Amino acid sequence: MSETDPRKPQRQPHPHPHPQSQPQRQSHPQRQSQLQRELNAALTGTVRGEVEFDPTARALTTMDASNYRRVPLGVVAPRDAEDVAATLSACAELAVPVVARGAGTSIAGQATGTGVVLDFTRHMNRVLSVDADTRTAVVQPGVVLDRLQEAAAPHGLRFGPDPSTHGRCTLGGMIGNNSCGSHSVAWGTTADNVRELSVLTAHGKRLRPGPDWAGAPDGLRTLVEQELKTLRTGFPTLPRRISGYALDALLPERGADVARFLCGSEGTLGILTEAVVRLVEAPRARALAVLAYTDESAAAEAAAGLLPHGPLTVEGMAADLVPPDADLPRGGAWLFVETGGDTAAQARARAEAIARAADVTDSLVVTDPAAQRTLWRIREDASGTATRMPDGTEAWPGWEDCAVPPARLGAYLRDFRSLLTSHGLRGAPYGHFGDGCIHVRIDFDLLTPAGVGRFRRFSEELAELVVAHGGSLSGEHGDGQARAELLPKMYGPEVVGLFERVKDLWDPDGLLNPGMLVRPHRLDENLRFAVLPREPVDVEFGYPADGGDFSAAVRRCVGVAKCRTATAGGSSVMCPSFRATGEEEHSTRGRARLLHEMLAGEVITDGWRSTEVRDALDLCLSCKGCRTDCPVGVDMATYKAEFLHHHYKGRRRPAAHYAMGWLPLWLRLVDRTRTARLVNSLAAVRPLAALAKRLGGIAPEREIPRVAGETFSRWWAARDGGTRPKPAEPPTESAPPRTVRSVLLWPDTFTEHLSPSVGRAAVRVLEAAGMDVTPVTAGGRPSSRGPGPGVCCGLTYVSTGQLDRARTVMRRTLDLMDPLLAPVTDPASAAAPPPVVVLEPSCAAALRTDLPELLPDDPRARRLAAAVVTFAEALERHAPHWTPPRLDRPVVGQTHCHQHAVLGDAADRRLREAAGLTGTLAGGCCGLAGNFGFEKGHYEVSTACAEEQLLPAVREAPENAVLLADGFSCRTQLHQTARAQGHHLAEILARALPTNRPAP
């Protein structure tokens, strides 16, 4: 390996991204290093799973979905209970704390720690059995809830509780936090649905907690029997009391249920290795009543009154969290009330009865399953969308899920609003109104001492308010560090002292998740923002949604981990590399965590030169799926480009960056020298192709695409020399009058040099629709001598992080287009810039977003971005009376990931429907993703992404199906992996046009 090999760790001197920021370091670093060495030696010899003490593993687990951050010594991924026992033994010997971790979506800080983190998601993640007769299942702690639901569904069963994170949260985490979810009004909390647990204590003792004191450690029964009066009077009665230890579950009249008592103990008493859980009968049909109210207080007042109707859910949402295009009944807040039945008619009748009984401003009953999923997504994404106020201000958890008796929810919300106002704070409530549980993200300032002080004062006063309403500080997500300090306000010193005595019985050395629930850390300690730079980091992109602050952009990731879902689901794209590898470092959240730690400089110490961050970003496809699918709008493709720019600044780049990053330059050179035939001939010679791929950093499994013999611009120049037809006239006198609209056609690199047939087809369709089409070349003027200097969106330079070069190319493009981009005073006038039709979705997305974000000070960039339209948008907006030819055939394929994330595909769907192309395109990503799938070392991940949805859909398609793929990458992936020929929508429509029109 050479000294300049990009894969080799670089340890040359390099400044911290923000050298004036001094990160907070743990005390006694030498002792920690010694502990790491001793632990590593002890664990490596006894644990069969992974034992990781490297910076990447530690950085990935410094945070959960809370405001808190703690740096662990290392991470262990146990394969079985024996590995857990071995880890506990080694840690006990060295007095090292242990924290159990599932998906890391805890909101109160309880999934972080300074010792060893046990990651159960990698191996101990199975449903061991489902017993339909007893309606129980045996699961391991790392199994994702949705996997249990899938295993139970064939038996007509399901697990009742279902948090909004059901696609990634684990049963172990749900048991640790006593999670609930939207269906708790029907099926209760996790504790209500646990039968028996298998637990290891800190010193490795195996227990089997269950009813009637089963699995109780020595002394627990005696302690409880001495404190019966306290246990019968010291715990408020409400459906969502999650705070503290559930000691009242040990009362004799409640069955002395040790398993139920352990639910919600946050891994502070024992480590779960297996669980027997109860399953419930799933309704055969469901309906959803959406009830509108003037505001959330009115919705809260009404929620408790709906419970006698036996709904499955009573969920509340405020208007600030609902997208404007959600098409909900008119109102300022809504209740989502789900009903079930043996038939669709029965479920609908129950929903309609509730809608009639409710005092609402408007209502809607939805029975279509797809429409219900769309509405539920709004609710499930709220934990992310709530992290940004309507004006873009950051908002944070911390007081995420207080609960009060449902009948008092309306009064509590009014007092809560008043308290927010008195502290100058804002928040948008949502959550489980039927159970009196409110979620809210609040715009705390957690970056300055004054803001942190206000956070503490507000927390103390809110705790008193909750208690005054007879509530619980936690109604779902546990106390952790966020609320445990304030438990004396809820329970008083006697009960809290009892909690401490119970902790000492189970864990006398305090090794299991210390600082949580009992003897807690202060709620304003260990804040994850404290280590970040105080001043903005010098970056290239504008980050307009984050005030130009890269740290704020990285802070967007709050850890809800939607990127960790195992299946894309519907049209979702995010995060294809995680689904291919299953590794946290290849998820959007994992990469954001590494960037956070890079800025902090404590665990990852090389700043922009970090090999850990580089390696994690290496498998990011830059699909931009997270930009839309992430509830908080993390844009990892932009962050990757930013990082690569700084990482390789002043250094030699990987060969692929030159081979594919400079692709527009190489293809333009081939065109100017008229050597396309020679290049294609040489690429067909295997030894020469292999040599070219090796020199260019291209995966040996890939074929080199053929270069077109005639570019689109040369075809146009020849056509324009006298054969160019006039725009089509209306076919009949009765047709609505049409005004010929001039449009510019953008000759992107792929259409120009690799797929000119797409450009020719687009010209034919656009002209058939009555448009005057002019390709954009030098200054917007076509030339018989070819493309001249050419316009370019800069996509390939951006995706490889060559941002200086990208900016140069973009400025040259704006200069060439300057005559067409002059500002106008009346956008509706004829002098307004014509629309720019871009056929390649990735290029259109680059012009819409990357261009103005890389050149934020150039007004021409914004004008060009605003002028960009897709092929379907051009037809819909500028030829509204044109009817496409009818094909009446099924369509199969995949929506381009950049179209999904940036451009939207609503116009495309309407155009396909008008043309009789039936069916829904697959979600996910094709896996080629521009240069990604061609780069050496990416082939397996690239094809794994294609195999997730695209290739199975193609294989299962009817024989007469049209294979639609608007992106050149998608068409190439289909050709090289399935030997299938995909077509751009323009090609499909052009072939169906009447043949009496002049052919392009």
Cβ–Cβ < 8 Å for 543, 553 = yes
Reading phi first (left if > 0) and then psi (alpha if -120 to 50, else beta), residue 424 is in left
Cβ–Cβ < 8 Å for 542, 856 = yes
Q: What share of the chain is helix, strand, coil (3-state, %, to 5)?
A: 45, 15, 45
**Beta strands at 333-341 and 430-432: parallel, antiparallel or unpaired:** unpaired
Tokens 């590593």, located at residue: 40
How far are the Cα atoms of 286, 565, 951 from residue 702, in angstroms, in the given order? 48, 29, 17
Give the list of residues 6+ apart from residue 835 with CB closer than 8 angstroms, or none. 741, 743, 744, 867, 868, 869, 874, 877, 878
**Beta strands at 430-432 and 437-439: parallel, antiparallel or unpaired:** antiparallel
Residues 550, 124: Cα–Cα separation, whole Å: 37
Cβ–Cβ < 8 Å for 820, 834 = yes
Of the candidates 353, 350, 340, 241, the one whose C-alpha atom is nearest the C-alpha of residue 283 is 340
Residue 49: helix, strand or coil by DSSP? coil
Other beta carbons within 10 Å of 449: 9
**Beta strands at 333-341 and 285-293: parallel, antiparallel or unpaired:** antiparallel
Residues 740, 220: Cα–Cα separation, whole Å: 85
Other beta carbons within 10 Å of 952: 12
Specify the DSSP class assigned to residue 848. I
Cβ–Cβ < 8 Å for 476, 169 = no
Q: Is the dihedral of CA 92, 97, 102, 106 positive or negative?
A: positive
Name residue 447's amino acid.
L
Q: According to the model, what pLDDT value does residue 830 have? A: 45
Residues 941, 699: Cα–Cα separation, whole Å: 12
At 153, give phi and psi (nearest 5°). -60, -40
Tokens 């002098």, located at residue: 831
Specify the DSSP class assigned to residue 706. P
Question: 443-494, pLDDT tens digit by residue?
Answer: 999 999 999 999 999 999 999 999 999 999 999 999 999 999 999 999 999 9
The distance between the two most distant Cα atoms of the chain, rounded to a whole number of Å, is 101
Q: According to the model, what pLDDT value does residue 822 have? A: 65
Question: 880-913, pLDDT tens digit by residue?
Answer: 999 999 999 999 999 999 999 999 999 999 999 9
Residue 5: helix, strand or coil by DSSP? coil
Residues 350, 288: Cα–Cα separation, whole Å: 10
Cβ–Cβ < 8 Å for 82, 54 = no
Q: According to the model, what pLDDT value does residue 10 have? A: 36
Residues 8, 121: Cα–Cα separation, whole Å: 30
Q: Is the dihedral of CA 58, 59, 60, 66 positive or negative?
A: positive
Strand partners, 199: 207, 272
Residue 488: helix, strand or coil by DSSP? helix
Strand partners, 527: 68
At 426, give phi and psi (nearest 5°). -135, 155
Specify the DSSP class assigned to residue 903. I
Of the candidates 936, 854, 928, the one whose C-alpha atom is nearest the C-alpha of residue 897 is 928
Q: What is the DSSP string of 551-589?
A: HHHHHT--S--GGG-SS--TT----HHHHHH--GGGSHH
Name residue 759's amino acid.
G
Q: According to the model, what pLDDT value does residue 723 have? A: 53
Of the candidates 342, 338, 368, the one whose C-alpha atom is nearest the C-alpha of residue 355 is 338
Residues 442, 637: Cα–Cα separation, whole Å: 28
pTM to 2 decimal places: 0.91
Cβ–Cβ < 8 Å for 478, 242 = yes
Count of all residues that appear for the chain in the document: 1000
Other beta carbons within 10 Å of 226: 11
Of the candidates 161, 163, 183, the one whose C-alpha atom is nearest the C-alpha of residue 103 is 163
Q: According to the model, what pLDDT value does residue 388 have? A: 79
Cβ–Cβ < 8 Å for 145, 159 = yes
Q: H or E element: which one contains 185?
A: helix 184-187
**Beta strands at 271-278 and 194-200: parallel, antiparallel or unpaired:** antiparallel
Residues 877, 337: Cα–Cα separation, whole Å: 38
**Beta strands at 136-139 and 127-131: parallel, antiparallel or unpaired:** antiparallel
Residues 375, 40: Cα–Cα separation, whole Å: 48
For residue 802, give both structure tokens.
Answer: 């060559």
Cβ–Cβ < 8 Å for 43, 92 = no
Q: What is the SS3 string spanning 748-761?
A: CHHHHHCCHHHHHH
Residues 952, 750: Cα–Cα separation, whole Å: 26
Query: Can you list the residues of the chain whose pLDDT is less than 70?
Result: 1-28, 568-570, 720-740, 778-789, 822-832, 996-1000
Residues 744, 759: Cα–Cα separation, whole Å: 12
